[in-house]
Amino acid sequence: METGGFPTLSNKSIFGKSVFGVLSIAAVAVGLAACSSSPKRASAKDRKAAPDFALKDATGATVKLSNLKGKVVLLNFWATWCGPCKVEIPWFIEFQQTYKDRNFTVVGVSMDDDGWASVKPYVTEKKINYRIVIGDDMLAKVYGGVESLPTTFVIDRFGRIASSHVGLISKKQYENEIQRLLEVTADDSNRSVGLFAPGGLLAFVRAPFARAN
């Protein structure tokens, strides 16, 4: 299996987590611009509803996806040990700060096996300003079987999946998608808009989410 021209990592347990981070960031430096996914056009009325969920965030408050209708949502499946995820998290922090007053939000779904034990310190260290929940195999399944990290869904104001990306894509591509969806109102929600095919630069394959110690 390949993602964006790079082989995915079918058995990440044979390498150390720190090696993954170094290799991932190095690859980003040399290849990101050339490996973003190609745009496709589709009718907005053909978009599928994003599966709903209700999960607790780090404060114990419930994050229910359907309650976010009216906002553009960037839903990101990630993990603290995922090198490509570490590249894009600063982008998502910036997006949250820049667009939060325009009915936009980021929701991160951590797939760390030990849950909050790893995630809470990481959120504090990185000063993540958007809500994080802990996912599981059931949630991954309803989103089409999330097998690689990062996997990201961009959801329109009406709770429908406008685009999805497996692996790391460019910051600019995310910005373009977010800005396009923020411009869409209820009156023109059914007009034809640009969608992007799944794809990206780097991803970790979940097999399942076993990691090297």
pLDDT > 90: percent of the chain: 64
Structure confidence at residue 23 as a pLDDT band (50, 70, 90): very low
Q: Are 72 and 182 in contact (CB under 8 A)?
A: yes
Local confidence band at 137 (pLDDT 50, 70, 90 cut-offs): very high
Q: Provide the pLDDT confidence category of residue 201 given band limits of 50, 70 and 90.
A: low
> What pLDDT is attached to residue 184?
84
Q: Domains plus CATH for the chain? A: 2-205 (3.40.30.10)
Residue 44, pLDDT score: 75
Q: Evaluate the CA torsion angle 78, 82, 85, 86 in order and state its sign.
A: positive
When the pLDDT of each residue in the chain is averaged and rounded to a whole number, the result is: 78
Taking Cα atoms as reference points, which of 209, 211, 37, 23 lies closest to residue 134?
A: 209
Tokens representing 212? 């090297």
What is the pLDDT averaged over residues 76-92?
98
Q: Give the pLDDT confidence score for residue 46 in this predicted structure.
A: 77
pLDDT band (50, 70, 90) for residue 22:
very low
pLDDT at 202 over 80: no
The CB-side HSE value for 199 (13 A sphere, CA atoms) comes to 16
Tokens of 69: 């209708």
Q: Tell me the per-residue pLDDT of 112-128, one tens digit each, with 9 for 90 and over.
A: 999 999 999 999 999 99
* pLDDT number for residue 111: 98
pLDDT at 49 over 80: yes
For helices 171-182 and 83-99, give the axis angle rounded to 10 degrees: 30
77 touches 149 (CB < 8 A): yes
Read off the pLDDT of residues 148-199 as tens digits, 9 standing for 90 and up: 999 999 999 999 999 999 999 999 999 999 999 999 865 555 443 444 334 4
133: helix, coil or strand?
strand
pLDDT tens sequence across 165-174? 999 999 999 9
Q: Report whether pLDDT(2) > 80.
A: no
